[in-house]
């Protein structure tokens, strides 16, 4: 077993921090560490927090951490922020809002920049969560950048996905447009002291009637006021009910299987692209394309032949495509 993986499993927080840095920096030992910790997960419940920018996600997460710590639960947090165009790091640094937890040994907070990823998460978020689970946190919170029409990656990470909305902001239209309704396991109306809560509740229920009318799990709605530290208990109760549903229905295991299957393809895709970019910097096809001697599809076929053990596979695919 890799030395860093062993230390991480033995609850060495420095090893956890270094391991996540290895992931972000694409260290040569990254895959070896991930292999070693794969079967070492302690069964943390992973909660994804997504919603429009300004919905109060970070303040909500901060209060939720306080509540979980009062219940003696250890908490790992991945706060995904936009990437700085200058440093490449997390631009907003949501850890600033959670500064009161810095000295708490039962809490670990990690900000991660999206670094060009469009799905609301950093590319290494899922892997970082894997390390945190192996470390042994009871609950792992993943806060996304904010709802957008492509930001659905949280469903590939979280056991429970919570969508944060505000009354009177028109968020529900954006949520429906973004497809978040389909992946939400729980809705949180934050800033519930503002006018328009009843209207927002009606809008959510109406959309759920369309989208989830025959679903085995209908997402419940929690109301919170994070600035006043209200609603955290009811939020946790709904999270636990969803966790029970996942276990009793078997959907939790089915979901984890789907995530692992997708992860295989993601790793293969990333490693192939990395190898391709490295080996094809001086490929002859570049000059041929520049001189218009070949088309992009011929060039792509040439590259694929170098990466597939049996070049005939590519030729057979080409023939099939032409015949079709």
* Residue 179, both tokens: 């497809």
Q: pLDDT tens, 240-262? A: 999 999 999 999 999 989 888 88
Determine contact, residues 123/117, Cβ cutoff 8 Å: yes
Could you give the number of structural domains in the chain? Answer: 3
Q: Tens digits of per-residue pLDDT, 177-233? A: 656 777 889 999 999 999 989 988 998 898 888 888 888 999 999 999 998 999 999
Burial of residue 44, with CB atoms counted within 10 A of its CB: 0-12 exposed, 13-18 middle, 19 or more buried: buried
The residues near 4 (Cβ < 8 Å, ≥ 6 apart) are 15, 18, 19, 22, 29, 33
Residue 203 and residue 272 in one domain: no
34 and 77 assigned to the same domain:
no
Question: Which residues, at least 6 apart from 183, have a Cβ–Cβ distance to it below 8 Å?
Answer: 152, 154, 155, 161
Instruction: Measure the CA–CA gap between 131 and 124, rounded to whole angstroms.
Output: 11
Q: Return the higher-pLDDT residue of 186 and 270.
A: 186
Give the domain range for residue 4: 1-39
At which of 204, 225, 250 does a domain end?
A: 250
94/167: higher pLDDT: 167
Q: What is the rounded CA–CA span in Å between residue 289 and residue 207? A: 50
pLDDT score, position 118: 43
CA dist 308 and 178 (Å) reads 37
Residue with tokens 């009811």: 234
pLDDT surpasses 60 at 87: no
- The predicted pLDDT at position 287 comes to 83
177 with 122, same domain? yes
Distance (Å, rounded) from C-alpha 299 to C-alpha 286? 9
Tokens of 37: 């910790």
Does 315 lie in the same domain as 280?
Answer: yes
Given this model, what pLDDT does residue 126 score? 87
Average pLDDT of the chain, as a whole number: 82
**30 and 163 part of one domain:** no
d(CA 83, CA 120): 11
First to last CA, the chain: 50
324 exposure class (CB count in 10 Å sphere: 0-12, 13-18, 19+): exposed
Share of the chain above pLDDT 70, in %: 78
Cα–Cα distance between 75 and 108 in angstroms, integer? 7
Choose among 132, 126, 143, 157: nearest CA to 267.
126
Q: Do 211 and 270 belong together in one domain?
A: no
152 in the same domain as 88: yes
Burial of 319 from C-beta contacts in 10 A (0-12 / 13-18 / 19+): exposed
Give 138's pLDDT tier (boundaries 50, 70, 90).
very high
Same domain, 89 and 218: yes
Neighbours of 215 (CB within 10 A): 10
Q: What pLDDT, on the 0 to 100 scale, is given for residue 97?
A: 61
Q: Check if the beta carbon of residue 45 is closer than 8 Å to that of residue 139.
A: yes
| Predicted pLDDT at 152 | 72
pTM score over 0.85: no
Q: Is 277 exposed, middle or buried (0-12, 13-18, 19+ CB in 10 A)?
A: exposed
The answer to whether residues 46 and 194 belong to one domain is: yes
Shared-domain flag, residues 315 and 184: no
Closest CA to 174 of 83, 53, 38, 310: 53
Based on the fold, state whether residues 204 and 116 are members of the same structural domain: yes
Q: Which residues contact 232 (CB under 8 A, 6 or more apart)?
A: 63, 64, 66, 67, 224
> Within 13 Å, how many C-alpha atoms sit on residue 220's CB side?
14
Of 219, 250, 281, the residue at which a domain comes to its end is 250
Mark which of 216, 250, 284 sits at the end of a domain. Answer: 250
Q: Are residues 69 and 208 in the same domain?
A: yes
Mean pLDDT throughout 280-301? 82
């Amino acid at each position: 077993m890799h030395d860093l993986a062993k230390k991480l499993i033995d609850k060495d927080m420095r090893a956890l921090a270094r391991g996540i840095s290895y992931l972000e920096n694409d260290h040569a030992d990254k895959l070896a560490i991930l292999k070693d910790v794969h079967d070492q997960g302690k069964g943390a419940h992973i909660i994804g927090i997504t919603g429009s920018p300004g919905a109060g996600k970070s303040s909500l997460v901060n209060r939720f951490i306080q509540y979980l710590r009062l219940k003696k639960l250890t908490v790992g947090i991945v706060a995904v922020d936009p990437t700085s165009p200058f440093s490449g790091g997390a631009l907003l640094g949501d850890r600033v809002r959670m500064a009161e937890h810095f000295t708490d040994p039962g809490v670990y907070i990690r900000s991660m920049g999206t670094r060009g990823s469009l799905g609301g998460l950093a590319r290494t978020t899922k892997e970082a969560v894997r390390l945190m689970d192996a470390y042994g946190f009871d609950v792992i919170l993943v806060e996304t950048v904010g709802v957008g029409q492509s930001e659905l990656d949280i469903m590939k990470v979280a056991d429970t996905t919570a969508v944060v909305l505000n009354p009177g902001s028109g968020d529900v239209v954006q949520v429906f447009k973004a497809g978040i309704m389909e992946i939400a396991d729980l809705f949180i109306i934050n800033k519930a002291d503002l006018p328009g809560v009843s209207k927002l509740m009606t809008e959510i229920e109406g959309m759920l009637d369309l989208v989830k009318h025959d679903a085995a799990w209908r997402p419940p709605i929690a109301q919170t006021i994070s600035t006043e530290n209200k609603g955290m208990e009811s939020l946790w109760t709904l999270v636990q009910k969803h966790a029970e549903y996942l276990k009793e229905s078997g959907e939790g295991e089915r979901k984890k299987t789907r995530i692992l299957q997708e992860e295989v393809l993601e790793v293969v895709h990333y490693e192939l692209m990395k190898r391709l970019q490295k080996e094809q910097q001086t490929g002859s096809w570049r000059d041929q394309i520049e001189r218009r001697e070949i088309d992009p599809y011929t060039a792509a076929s040439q590259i694929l032949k170098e990466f597939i053990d049996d070049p005939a596979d590519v030729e057979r695919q080409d023939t099939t495509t032409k015949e079709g």
